[in-house]
Chain A
Amino acid sequence: MEFLAELAAPLLTGLLHGSLFTLMAVGLTMTFSVTRMINFAHAELVTLGAYAAVVAVNNYGWSLGPAMAAAVLIGLAAAVLVDELVYKPLTAMRAPDLYLMVASIGVSMVLRHIIYIFADLNGLLNVKARVLNNPVMFVGYGTVTTVHLWAVPAALLLALGLHLFLTQSLTGKVMRAVADNVMLAQASAAPVARIRRLAWIAAGSLAGLAGAVWAVYSPVTPSVGWGLLPRMFASAIIGGLVSFSGTFIGAYVVGFAENLGIFLANYFLGTPLDYRGIITFLIVAVMLLWRPAGVLAARGGGRW
């Protein structure tokens, strides 16, 4: 019983992290689908959301709901702006995928360090949102908090919504076609530009939302998103970068591995808890060796 009581804490944290990684990584997969580029600056969309929420709550006294809306809007605006200013012109120039990725690294550096400068000037380099993360229920040694009530349903709703969108709506079907082959979709006169815009709006909004939820859960620094980027990458790699359901699975695999997995390894094998990050790396390594195209690749044409 003692073991089960201890198990509850990493289980709940894993569930929370998995949900948050879902919100973050699905956007990464989505923008990869339409640009064939890994957007390193996706990390900063999360950070922007986190800071938007913190500043709205702490400095302007907003309540959490409007603060989260602000975070979503900031993430969305930044995503669309960066696409318009940088990625779209590069795509129009037919720049290689690698160039787009390098540009995204540049964008990421610029955004992150502008946030650093802003935070440094305002004494916000490490800041906790003044929101109570209330315990709702105790399970063994674990606690269900307000953040769980926000994040887990949000991730599940996202998954359900995406599923309905991609399988039921025409736009969603076209988006899958674009993800499968941008060139082909262009040739078939699919509204590529509209799909692309939609992907950036969705990615930015989700990243902003995830950042805001993260800000309630944990202190915020200007590199909060960047620090989470390896987890987002790992989640997306498990999904093979193109599959939303794979990314969804990947996010929970990473979330549980880093909490539940390390707890079990520590409990039974005495593995130090510091090896948390190594587990993520091992997951990525195993994925690349076992099924580089993503965990659902063997299912054939299934993109969702």
Chain B
Amino acid sequence: MNLTPLIASFLVFYGLYLILSLSLNLEYGYAGQPNFGKVFFYSVGAYTAGAVTAHTLRWASFGPMGEALGLPPVADICSAAAAVVREQLAAAHPGLMAVIFLTSLVLAALLGAAAGYLLSYPALRVREVYLAMVLLIVAEISRSYVRANSAIACGAHGLVGVPNPLLWIDDPGVRGYAYAAAVLAVAGIVYVVAQRLGNSPFGRVLKAVRDDELAAQVLGKRVARIKGQVMAIGSGMAAVAGVLYAFHVQFVGAEDFIPVITFNVLAMVILGGAANHKGVALGALILTAVDRMSRTSFLALFGLQPPFDVNYLRYVIIGALLVVLIMFRPQGLLPEGPVRTPAVEVFQRRGSA
């Protein structure tokens, strides 16, 4: 049995979930802002990738690139013919795809950050429970809107054929691992960014806002600005994950962005340990494994054929995990540690002297 696609896919999803859970960890674990619309910002990235790819390749199909391959110009981005044209162009033009990929990443990060900053506004006015509700409503309503309007991601059908930027690599196994490596590299950068933000005076301020917002304000901290900053950073990261997701599944559709994805990520953060980056990486690893193994295709490898859709079972497990963790181990596997800045050294040196 060929395990390569399974392993490559596992690595890609680990990278995606790592980015998502690190971003939610900054917002929820550090700053105490329950961004339960995480999946919305994730979807912003996927829609951006879809739009950038479809429109750029449509433009290319009209020019010499399309002519050289004998391809018809794309009239309707959402058509099946357009998907074929996109794949052929992508397989023939690695440079163009690299530009599309990087542009999508940068643009998605900016759009995600802008959306996060704007939606931090309710966070300034209302308590956490409201914020959680509002962001959930935003995510659900944007999903129904995108489904109903073909302009963003081809409506209910979704945009089929968002070619992988490495489609020019012929061997699917090599391509799979190469893309996984790219995703993990981005995830690695996000990890370093999250780690540095967390262990800095900025991380200290985030925790202060979480622990006692009024006290932080009375001590001179601009709470509104800080909430906006952390929502912008977290949402930008989530949008980057959305781009990587779209190019992996080579499809963008509103129905992929349901709230349980947010809660799956929330479970990763709480399982690993909120406000602990290593813990979050561990939580993401464990639950990505659960996620990938509770799939019909995976169980079929072992001849298992449950009489119902196994996706449901996964969500029962994740939901139960959330309840059990909150009740019996809210700090997670690896509890929160102090903010590691050079200031700690000043006191440690003294202690050992």
Whether the complex brings A and B within 8 Å at their CB atoms is answered: yes
A positions within 8 Å CB-CB of B: 32, 36-38, 86, 89-90, 93, 95, 97-103, 105-114, 116-117, 120-121, 229-230, 233-234, 237, 241, 272, 274-275, 277-278, 280-281, 284, 288-289, 292
Contact across chains for B137 and A284 when beta carbons are under 8 A apart: yes
Interface members, chain B 19-57 (any A CB < 8 Å):
32, 34, 36
Known contacts A274-B148, A289-B125; 14 additional CB pairs below 8 A are: A95-B326, A97-B128, A98-B34, A101-B128, A103-B323, A103-B326, A103-B327, A106-B321, A109-B260, A113-B316, A120-B309, A230-B137, A274-B144, A292-B130
Contacts of A292 in B (CB 8 A): 125-126, 130
B307: chain A residues within 8 A (beta carbon): 121
Q: Cα distance A103–B34 when bound, in Å?
A: 13
Is B191 an interface residue, CB under 8 A from the partner? no
Closest to A116 in B: B312
> Is B266 an interface position by the 8 A CB rule?
yes
Task: List 8 A-B pairs, minimum CB-CB distance, nearest first.
Answer: A109-B319, A106-B322, A274-B148, A106-B323, A110-B319, A120-B308, A116-B312, A113-B315
Q: Report Cα–Cα, A32/B122, bound state, in Å.
A: 20
The yes or no answer to B129 lying at the interface (CB within 8 A) is: yes
Docked complex Cα distance between A275 and B322 (Å):
34
Binary flags per residue of B255-287, CB closer than 8 Å to A gives 1, else 0: 000001001001100100000000000000000
Asked if B138 lies at the interface with its beta carbon under 8 angstroms from chain A, I say yes
Q: Chain B 299-335, CB within 8 Å of chain A: the 1/0 string?
A: 0000000011100110110111111001100100000
B315 x A112 contact (CB < 8 A): yes
Q: Bound state CA distance, A120 and B270, in angstroms?
A: 30
Point out the residue from B141, B148, B266, B313 that lies within 8 Å of A102, measured CB to CB.
B266
B136 is an interface residue with CB less than 8 A from chain A: yes
Complex: A45 Cα to B266 Cα, angstroms: 23
B287 to chain A, nearest CB (A): 13
Give the docked Cα–Cα distance between A32 and B322 (Å): 20
A110-B323, A113-B312, A120-B308 in contact; A278/B136 too (CB < 8 A)? no
Mark each residue of chain B from 133 to 153: 1 if its CB lies under 8 Å from any CB of chain A, else 0: 110111011001100110000
CB distance from A246 to the nearest CB of B (A): 14
Q: Quick one: closest B residue to A223, CB to CB? A: B258
Identify the B interface with A (CB < 8 A).
Answer: 32, 34, 36, 122, 125-126, 128-130, 132-134, 136-138, 140-141, 144-145, 148-149, 260, 263, 266-267, 270, 307-309, 312-313, 315-316, 318-323, 326-327, 330
State A201–B266 Cα separation when bound (angstroms): 30
Residue of A nearest to B155 (CB): A274
Q: How far is the CA of A160 from the CA of B179 in the complex (A)?
A: 62
- In angstroms, Cα B71 to Cα A211, docked, is 54
A101 and B132 within 8 A (CB) = yes
Q: Is the interface of A mostly helix, strand, loop or mixed?
A: helix
Nearest-CB distance from A119 to chain B (Å)? 9
In the assembled complex, the CB of B168 is this many whole angstroms from the nearest CB of chain A, namely 39
Residue in A closest to B32 when the chains form the complex, CB atoms: A98
A102→B326 CA distance, assembly (Å): 8
Q: Given A102-B266, A103-B322, A114–B316 Cβ distance below 8 Å?
A: yes
Residue in B141, B312, B313 whose beta carbon sits within 8 Å of that of A280 in the complex: B141
Interface of B is mostly: helix
Beta-carbon contact of B263 and A109 below 8 Å? yes
Q: Are A95 and B330 in contact (CB under 8 A)?
A: yes
Assembled-state Cα–Cα distance A289/B130 (Å): 13
Nearest CB of chain A from residue B19's CB, rounded to whole Å: 21
What's the minimum C-beta distance from B154 to chain A, rounded to whole angstroms? 14
A272 to B147, CA, bound (A): 13
Query: Are B322 and A233 in touch, CB under 8 angstroms?
Result: no
- Can you name the residue of chain B whose Cβ is closest to the Cβ of A273? B148
**In the complex, A181→B321 CA distance in Å?**
31
A110 CA to B270 CA in the complex, in Å?
A: 17
Question: Given A102-B270, A113-B316, A121-B308: A230 and B141 within 8 A (CB)?
Answer: yes
Instruction: Kindly list chain A residues whose C-beta atoms are within 8 Å of the C-beta of B132.
Output: 38, 101
**Known contacts A106-B319, A108-B319, A110-B319; A99/B312 CB under 8 A:** no
B316 and A233 within 8 A (CB):
no
Q: Across the interface, which residues of B come within 8 angstroms of A120, CB to CB? A: 308-309, 312
- Interface core residue of B32, B307, B313, B323 (most chain A CB under 10 Å): B323
| Cβ-closest chain A residue relative to B263 | A105
Given the complex of chains A and B, what is the CA–CA distance between A116 and B258 in angstroms?
Answer: 15
Judge whether B327 and A89 touch: CB under 8 Å: yes
- Knowing A109-B319, A277-B144, A280-B137, say if A99 contacts B125 (CB, 8 Å): no
Task: Specify which chain B residues have a CB less than 8 angstroms from the CB of A95 in the assembled complex.
Answer: 326, 330
Q: List 9 A-B contacts (CB under 8 A).
A: A38-B129, A101-B34, A101-B129, A102-B326, A110-B319, A116-B315, A237-B133, A275-B145, A288-B126
Q: Which residues of A contact B267 (CB under 8 A)?
A: 106
Contact B266 A105 (CB under 8 A): yes
Q: Are A102 and B322 touching (Cβ within 8 A)?
A: yes
Contact B145 A277 (CB under 8 A): yes
* Complex-state Cα separation, A102 to B318, whole angstroms: 12
Q: Distance (Å) between the CB of B264 and the closest chain A CB?
A: 9
Residue of B nearest to A122 (CB): B308
> Measured between alpha carbons, how far is A101 from B133 in the docked complex, in Å?
10
A106 — which chain B residues lie within 8 A by C-beta? Answer: 263, 267, 318-323, 326
Residues of B within 8 Å of A274, CB to CB, are 144-145, 148-149
Cβ–Cβ contact A117 & B308, under 8 A: yes
Report Cα–Cα, A107/B136, bound state, in Å. Answer: 17
Of residues A89, A108, A280, which shows the largest number of chain B Cβ atoms within 10 Å of its Cβ? A108
